[in-house]
């Protein structure tokens, strides 16, 4: 996520906003953002409603058997339509911002 923070101007230039979602509490999420210097929108989903809706729940994968989100990235247009998704089963796999920017550049302009 640090690399996305560093490339925020590149995303903004394409009319794209970065939003992250965590199952951590609002307080934990705010603390993480402050510690790491994240300035993009970081939402808290402690009940896991959003991760279930997007189909990215890693059941019992967190501390104490808590459900967490598996790594995933979505490009959602202003109408709420998912234009692209990157799902992985590998908890260590992370999309690089350069790849996301290439995908955005390949979408029709009205989609981002």
Could you tell me if residue 80 is left (phi over 0), alpha (psi between -120 and 50 degrees) or otherwise beta? Answer: left
In a domain, 7, yes or no: yes
In a domain, 75, yes or no: yes
In a domain, 49, yes or no: yes
At 74, phi and psi to the nearest 5?
-130, 140
In a domain, 112, yes or no: no
pTM of the predicted structure, to 2 decimals: 0.81
Residue 50 belongs to what domain range?
2-106
Report the SS3 class of residue 65. helix
CA torsion sign for 79, 81, 83, 85 is: positive
Vertex 77 angle, CA 55 and 5, to 5°? 80
CATH, residue 17: 3.40.30.10
| pLDDT tens readout for residues 17-73 | 999 998 999 999 999 999 999 999 999 999 999 999 999 988 898 889 988 888 899
Work out how many domains the chain is built from and give that number: 1
* Bridge partner residues of 74 (DSSP): 85
- Taking a C-beta distance cutoff of 8 angstroms, is the pair 45, 21 a contact? yes
């Amino acid at each position: 996520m640090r690399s996305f923070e560093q490339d925020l101007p590149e995303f903004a230039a394409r009319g794209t906003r970065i939003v992250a979602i965590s199952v951590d509490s609002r307080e934990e999420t705010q603390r993480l953002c402050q510690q790491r210097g994240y300035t993009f929108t970081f939402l808290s989903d402690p009940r896991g409603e959003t991760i279930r809706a997007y189909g990215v729940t890693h059941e019992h994968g967190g501390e104490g058997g808590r459900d967490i989100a598996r790594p995933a990235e979505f490009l959602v247009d202003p109408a709420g339509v998912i234009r692209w998704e990157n799902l992985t089963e590998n908890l260590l796999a992370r999309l690089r911002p350069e790849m996301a920017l290439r995908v955005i550049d390949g979408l029709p302009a009205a989609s981002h």
